[in-house]
Amino acid sequence: MAGSSKLNITPPRWLLAELSYKCPLQCPYCSNPLDYAKYPNELSTEDWKRVLSQARKMGAVQLGFSGGEPLTRQDLTELVGYARELGYYSNLITSGYGLSEEKIVELKQAGLDHIQISIQASTQELNDHIAGTATYQHKQDVAKLIKKHGYPMVLCVVIHRENIHQMPQILEMAENLGADYLELANTQYYGWAHLNRDALLPTREQFEEAEKIAQAYKEKVAGKMKIYYVVPDYYEDRPKACMNGWGTTFLTIAPDGTALPCHSARELPGLDCPNVKDFSIEEIWNESKTFNFFRGTEWMQEPCRSCDEKLKDFGGCRCQAFLFNGDMYSTDPVCSKSPERHRIDTAINSARELALSDREKPLIFRNSKNSKQF
Amino acid sequence: MTISPDQLIQFSPLHRLQWEEAQQKYVILYPEGMVELNQSSAEILKLCDGSRMLAQIVTELEEKFATSGLTNDITNFLNVALQNGWIKQA
């Protein structure tokens, strides 16, 4: 175990319940693991209720129902009702696919607090291409119904090279749909997005242009719609404070019951992630090897170890360090102090070359057939 | 955007004010976020239930805490709350 003493363990505040890996969409930047098809088993309703109770007792208060597509679970309304009884603030993170007006009302009555719906682009053609499913019109209708029934609504648009030119239209669409929050999520390159990075990563010029437009719009809609801008970390010179620090705030439970400190942690070697069928949330959070692995700073190497910013960004993202450097203990290569920063620049240049050429690289879509190859 | 003294103040239907046992404090919950409140902020917000105007909130809190001269502090906090969308008027 690389972790430090257990003296400073703070309780979880955020529980992400990935109810199912099933999803009718095939977005090529999906954050689910590439090999998700290997994990077809799903927790039972009773398992989930136990997890919700145990995490709530420790202090978790924000709850995300996610996936895959959480609407594929027949017991969603029951779980939402149970979560409300426990005092959670519940967020449904959905593609909107299969969300009828009847279901929207039913979930509201059960106590759902908020719906985050994703839209892939501002035009039908591009939305349906990226989603791999004809969903554009349905999503527009669902967004209006969410507002009609009094929910706060977050519209989430994942930004990449295929849609970044639509930034002005995306902002307008969000305002017209009555979104309370627009999340402009620059793609984070893990899982499927990492696989498709050459085709998805925008150039620096594209990022700067899009960010300027989004910032200007922020002022225009101040007091009406909040805009969250998820920064593209490859173009930063300091890494993100990933998950607010390992095992400090966030707890993800995968569909099969595996407990993860972040939704990508399954990619890291040797963590032996525990399952909620074998251990309580308290045991997992406080005692497990996995959750103690990168707590504190004892595990760090140079340049993190002696860095005066180590408590600000916690050395960045462990999954990114592993993906680029093959060493999950190393400094996140996004950091300009990392001796491996050149690997990020190489990735940027490789995507840029493809962007500026006439060549096309087909996207690999997220579906079971493709997943079974990993 | 500032508090109007002659309009009722209500808590935003898009946020939730809640006591958190584990943290021993009130929090405001909203999509994917949380604000932790100190005791005085929580006392003010609990009175923003759509049945009181600014002066009534001040009077009630001055009585409750047997003090006076809270008008400025409460007004300033409510202006911040309004700008953050935690409360609304009409």
Provide ipTM, 2 decimals: 0.91
The backbone torsions φ and ψ at residue A171, rounded to the nearest 5 degrees and listed phi first, read -65, -45
Which one of A11, A113, A223 has the shortest CB-CB distance to B16?
Answer: A113
Question: Could A62 and B23 be called an inter-chain contact, meaning their C-beta atoms sit closer than 8 Å?
Answer: no
Identity at A121, one-letter amino acid code: A
pLDDT tens-digit series, residues A116-164 = 999 999 999 999 999 999 999 999 999 999 999 999 999 999 999 999 9
Place of tokens 């291409």: A129
Give which of A167, A168, A169, A120 is closest to A143, Cα–Cα: A120
Beta bridge partners, A64, equal: A16, A91
On the 0-12 / 13-18 / 19+ scale of CB atoms within 10 A, A69 is buried
Question: What pLDDT does residue A250 have?
Answer: 97
CATH number for the domain whose boundaries are A11-373? 3.20.20.70
A1 band by pLDDT with thresholds 50, 70 and 90: very low
Yes or no: say if A257 and A43 are a contact pair by the CB < 8 Å rule. yes
Yes or no: say if B24 and B36 are a contact pair by the CB < 8 Å rule. no
pLDDT tens-digit series, residues A2-32 = 544 455 799 999 999 999 999 999 999 999 9
> For residue A228, what is the nearest residue in chain B, using CA coordinates?
B32
Q: At what angle do helices A136-148 and A124-131 cross, to 10 degrees?
A: 100
The alpha helices in A182-309, defined as continuous H runs, are 191-195, 197-200, 204-220, 281-287, 289-292
Domain boundaries, chain B: 8-89
pLDDT tens-digit series, residues A47-87 = 999 999 999 999 999 999 999 999 999 999 999 999 999 99
Question: Could B27 and A61 be called an inter-chain contact, meaning their C-beta atoms sit closer than 8 Å?
Answer: yes
Give the Å distances, CA to CA, from A105 to A63, A85, A112, A364.
19, 18, 10, 36
Q: CB-based contact (8 Å) between B34 and chain A?
A: yes
Q: CB-based contact (8 Å) between A10 and chain B?
A: no
Q: Which residues of B touch A91 (CB under 8 A)?
A: 31-32
Per-residue pLDDT at A349 exceeds 60? yes
- Residues A345, A350, A352, A356: what is their CA dihedral angle, to the nearest 10 degrees? 160
CATH number for the domain whose boundaries are B8-89? 1.10.10.1150
Q: Which residues of B touch A11 (CB under 8 A)?
A: 22
> Residue A68: is the preceding peptide bond cis (ω within 30°)?
yes
In angstroms, the CA A186 to CA A202 distance is 9
